[in-house]
A and B are shown apart, each in its own frame.
Chain A
Amino acid sequence: MNDVLDVALRLLVVFGVFMVLPLVIGQTEHKVMAHMQGRLGPMYAGGFHGWAQLVADGVKFAQKEDVVPANADRRIFQLAPAVALLPYLLVLVAIPIGPGEGAVGEVVDAGIFFVLAVMGVGVLGSLMAGWASANKFSLLGGLRTAAQLLAYELPMLLAAASVAMAAGTVSLPGIVDAFEWWWLPWQIVGALVFFVAGLAELQRPPFDMPVADSEIIFGAYTEYTGLRFALFLLAEYAGIVVLCGLTTVLFLGGWHGPFGAEGLGWVWTLLKTAVLAFIVIWLRVSYPRLREDQLQKLAWTTLVPLALAQIALTGIVKVVIQ
């Protein structure tokens, strides 16, 4: 009975995190962008600093008419947002935020494997949306999304493999357990490759060619309104949480910090994740969009060779210190 209660509690917490953190990041993005770009819109709703903007957005999404275009493939069109969103929920369960069994949703043995595999499923939602909309812009957007995943999944995989080599395990808590501070300079190239590739997979600026508003409206999500559109947005922010969390766990030492790693380890994890999420928002404000061919070129001629070099470096250092 105790086990059942324990599992239920863990699932509840994971689900709660999944509901809260993406919204926190969304709200932060409103405010940070408003300050960085002098935008007045997001600072208005509710009075002080526009605190009610997110609530207003939610109300709007919930009571907006749900339009399915007459030409669309109805069933697929309606299911696509769920396929895009749910993989990120499943990934969250495997990310440890503190030492010990108590601070992770569930210890999955092949953690890195599981996480990378499940994250890749999300792109199917965008492809489904792009195809089922029966809209030329959507189709182009969906295909661009797929091309982006093809290009950036590989450097991400290789960078993650480098950490697995360093730690000698593919379990996420195991990797953080093995972490030492000097991994930071040792794995820095891998960390950058992983983070950049992750950004590209989430289609965040400067890698937002699949949703480039100036040429294909909003890519695969052009025909979506109301709640289903909101779920796609939620998927994007949940993706930011997952990417930043994973980068923290794999490369930045998770719960390790200069002090207080015993009781307050989870604070370090959350803090590092938050800083990375801020960088994600910052990049959106500061960089122009890369062209489609530049995107592919960056992945294949820069990130993949860098990741391979990192693997070589990891291998040599690991064998030498053994």
Chain B
Amino acid sequence: MPEPTVRTVPTALAADYFQSYSVVGLLAVIGVLFVAVAFAAGRLLRPVVPTPEKLLTYECGVDPVGEGWAHTQVRYYVYAFLYVIFAVDSIFLFPWATVFAAPGYGATTLVEMFIFLGFLTVGLLYAYKKGVLTWT
């Protein structure tokens, strides 16, 4: 009977795929357990003698001025935009990287790559020219 064999192949592949990540998941559980045990053991070992001075925010030993969650000027939000754009672009490199030199692709994909890199470079040059890459 050929049909069951045909059906089992994809299931087996999927099972293999998820097995490696379930091992990773198990390790994550071990990690969480380790942290939990460490924190619990720490609670048993250390003294607890809070005083108002100790619980004060530490700012060089003088009494803190104003709130900790103060307004700050985030000077690099443009970097953040740039990063998101570029990172999303470069993620596409990975699937392409595994096949680009396969027989039958060769020169075509190489030209494609230069177009892709060209876009990135032009973007970077544009940002540079706009003065985004220098600290304001």
Contact = CB atoms under 8 A, between A and B. Distances in A.
Interface of A: 7, 10-11, 14-15, 62-71, 78, 81-82, 85-86, 89-90, 93-94, 105-110, 112-114, 131, 133-140, 143, 147, 150-151, 153-154, 157-158, 161, 164-165, 168-170, 217, 222-223, 226-227, 231, 292-293, 296-297, 300-301, 304-305, 308, 311-312, 315-316, 318-319, 322
A296 B133 contact: yes
Q: Is the interface of B mostly helix, strand, loop or mixed?
A: helix
Interface string B6-38: 000000000001001101101110111011001
Contacts of A137: 59
27 contacts: A62-B45, A62-B46, A65-B49, A70-B55, A86-B28, A93-B24, A105-B23, A106-B20, A114-B24, A134-B68, A134-B69, A135-B57, A136-B68, A136-B70, A137-B59, A143-B72, A157-B87, A161-B90, A161-B97, A296-B79, A300-B79, A301-B133, A304-B86, A308-B121, A318-B100, A319-B106, A319-B109
A93 B44 CA distance: 31
B47 to A, nearest CB: 5
Contact of A165 (B17, B21, B97): B97
B126 interface: no
A69 B135 CA distance: 33
A69 B69 contact: no
B106 A322 contact: yes
Interface residues of B, number: 73
Nearest to A94: B24
B98 A71 contact: no
Contacts of A143: 72, 74
Contacts of B72: 139-140, 143
A150 B24 contact: no
B107 interface: yes
A118 B78 CA distance: 24
A154 B87 contact: yes
A150 B80 contact: yes
Contact of A226 (B31, B42, B83, B102): B42
